[in-house]
Amino acid sequence: MGRTRHSRPRSRASVAAITGATVRADFNDPNVVIHYTRAADRLGLWASERLLIERWLPDRAAPLLDAGCGAGRVALGLWKLGYRHLTGVDFAAELIDQARGLAAQHRAAIDFVLADVTRLGPVRLAAPGGFAGAMYLFNGLMQIPGRGQRRRALRQLRAACRPGAILLFTTHDREDDPREQPHWAAEAQRWAVGEQDPCLVEYGDRHFRDSHGGHTFMHLPTRGEVLEDLGAAGWAHRFDAMRRAIAAESEAVREFSDECRFWVAQRD
């Protein structure tokens, strides 16, 4: 999910911290499933996504992994561009069902697998020599609660990829928008005195009700934080830029997703 809203601190009584199970349940919500299925069927690839994929992953015959594939928006867009060895993984069963249904409608031979990106062992069988590239688009990595788990996901992606493989992903950047700084200053004060929303795992987290009726968990990192995580997981940074510096997006894309930062990393 791309859009963020301010989360409001709630009572600390009987409130458990968000886990992967919470996020999975959010993604299996019927409102969320409908939202992502419509995007997969109608929106397709963003201009920025297509530009960077074709620049960094030009081989249409190479095996590619679409992590956090949702209802298949990116994978179906790649199929239409002529990419033919695609595997999509997501841990939300309802979204995987939708992706498979859309692939059948479009006669796209894409392998959609129900799997958690923090545990990719069986998925590696789809590319015995390792995937030539992996994508984790629409801020999916940052919807994993806990920095340790996000680093685990990055390590799992590295293990699934061959040497020299490219990883393309997006995040928000909580330092990019000056209008957001008062919120984060107040949030830092809440964390300092233990008055933050008790469902949140770490500073930079948000959990909110989205415009399409579902709930969204999102961690908003700094650029430095992401660079540290890539290094810790064995990925070499190759490129990053805000979306607006890469391509002008349509009104539909801007309505679907807030501004984000694109990242390109490479496996040694």
| pLDDT tens digit sequence for 164-197 | 999 999 999 999 999 999 999 999 999 999 999 9
Verdict on whether the full-model pTM lies above 0.85: yes
Question: Token pair 């019927």 is at which residue?
Answer: 30
Contacts of 48 by beta carbon, 8 Å cutoff, 6+ apart: 243, 246, 247, 249, 262
Q: Residue 1: its pLDDT value, please?
A: 44
pLDDT for position 4: 55
Who contacts 162 (Cβ-Cβ below 8 Å, separation ≥6)?
127, 129, 130, 131, 132, 267
Q: Residue 266: is its pLDDT beyond 90? A: yes
Strand 205-209 to strand 215-219: parallel, antiparallel, or no bridges (unpaired)? antiparallel
**pLDDT at residue 12, as a whole number:** 46
Cα distance between residue 204 and residue 221, in whole Å? 6
Task: Tell me the one-letter amino acid at 157.
Answer: L
Q: Which residues contact 198 (CB under 8 A, 6 or more apart)?
A: 9, 10, 11, 12, 15, 17
Indicate the domain borders of the chain.
Answer: 20-267
Residue 186 CB: number of other CB atoms within 10 A? 11
Backbone angles phi, psi at 185, to 5 degrees: -65, -45
Distance of alpha carbon 229 from alpha carbon 180, whole angstroms: 23
* 214 pLDDT more than 90: no
Q: What is the rounded average pLDDT for all residues in the chain?
A: 94
pLDDT for the residue 60: 98
Mean pLDDT within 41-49? 97
pLDDT digits (tens, 9 = 90+) for 86-132: 999 999 999 999 999 999 999 999 999 999 999 998 898 899 999 99
pLDDT of residue 3: 53
Residue with tokens 């998925």: 123
Between the alpha carbon of residue 188 and those of residues 7, 24, 128, 265, the distances in Å are: 13, 27, 45, 30
Q: What kind of architecture, by CATH, is found in domain 20-267?
A: 3-Layer(aba) Sandwich (3.40)
